[in-house]
A and B are shown apart, each in its own frame.
Chain A
């Protein structure tokens, strides 16, 4: 294992390197794009190198193998704080990051979702801001991201077939009058593509794909970056601080190695892609006399505007068998409700997407805290159950934020992140609309009952180092470059100015491709 955790071409620790923190959708893509352009990269990943051979088709075993389980705390009125107080997010700690367990849905943002302040107007309690970029600027990068990831339905990629859960979902959609349903776009191969095989419909997505049909940076970007001979991959290394010189430029990162010893890597440039809880945690842990509120935090926005999407699930029971767990979990999407139509009682929109949990996870997450026959009937109906997930835009709020918990430390003695979240009334109205539409959808195909499941620990974590035109409104500029620190970049979903309704991975990848071009240009022209 230790050998696997150190791969590629070693770069000296006193070499002033391009350092990427994190190896998921943002970090992994960036490492690939930079090494393709001849730029050597040190990539530090907190998790271990775990591959398809290690994955297991078992929910709890896989969870314990892959999930980020370092302690975290929660506060606020969200139900997570009551049911799962130390598990605000369900994300991965491993090489490849959360792309190793994501479902695969790849919708793009809509034009107005980059301009929410101008489109939605002022909404009480929301810290809305337009992105400093537009869909038109992003379109070429969306194309490249979709081609890299092999998204179905676009660029000539074949659609995935209808699985049983989709058959219920799509027939319900049709009968409800929805038009924009299909089995994708979805970044898992329906047929062989890019050296990876077609899906065998094994039904395990959140547990890692043993068949390598699903795109992740672990199966595509990282091995190709290693093949250039320009990547120094160091896994099981947890970065604890970014340091800076007297001019306020970052000059090194400090990280704990596999033995828990503190190491220093000199850096010419640091890109942080630790997902939206660890990224602000690292910036806050990097506070110094020059940056007393945390690195790159003159705006006070680091850690703020934490978003997790407005989610919820509905599991409906039928007379006849469904076997929702067979096949690609999320290869089913309805886009009709993704429009902005305030007449529904909320701003922004949402998608409906198929979802399935096994009995173990349905028991834990289906209705946390309950027991008795009301609870057990959900499990007893398991094979006759169809499921869908609501995923919609939630609004940035300044008070929804990641902070350092001053009284709880992790095994390394570092303050753990606290995640505070209160639902905005807009989020609640959207969720209720989604629940209602889902129940109508299933009723249209003969459901005998339906259950509203609350949001899971957050799989989409966004917004805690947001992009802004002006330095006082956010943490990074339109390239993800910190307003305050010229050689510091944020390269993950923390950059998101707003959440949009779409699953975020495609946009994170597209932004990373775009950022890599910019960084390469700036390095070449001396702009950094």
Chain B
């Protein structure tokens, strides 16, 4: 137990004994973590924004005029059997005309003796099925149904949104990796400098029989301290700043508490890895 107390005290002395180096490490890591936090918030917020944009996407099946009304229930049953269907609405020729009137503000078909508008089935989907791959499968299935003359949904629009969302995810992953590496390298450098400045001490302690784990411990704690404190300070600054600002027409999404806990754990692991990488060479 006395050895543990010594090691904890030694870790504190290592940090406090080099205040300028400690501040440099903390501030540079804080900037990196702030960048990561902002990227994360941007990704979550843009993801929600894109999600909202796809919320109104539905598919309309236009029915052949020759199709008898009695078979429509068969088509409706076939549609309802599919996965991911949220709502099905059958639109008669009259309802289609009413919708057109409501949309245009006037009856464009006033001169027609017969209503030329087709009957249709309007289908909306649950969010997890609202994607281009699944809708393409449905489109292929529905096109084989007898009496379905045309199928419409905003395919290109949906694909563009998905491409944008994919791009955002790739950017977040790329930046996440780059920033994590930058944090590890930054820590490695700090801990290596710290170890080099105590090179004689490390060598003498090894000659006296100190083991690698015993010698590494203060440096691992130092790495974890820099990483964890910078990460926590980053979020503190973000929450403080965001509470002081207001965003109109754009909802800012923050990570969930569980995600923040995982982030904290990741910061500790990164700190450990940076500390280990920094001290490893000095103990060869």
- Whether A and B are associated in the same complex: the answer reads no
User: Contact residues of A with B, CB < 8 Å?
Assistant: none
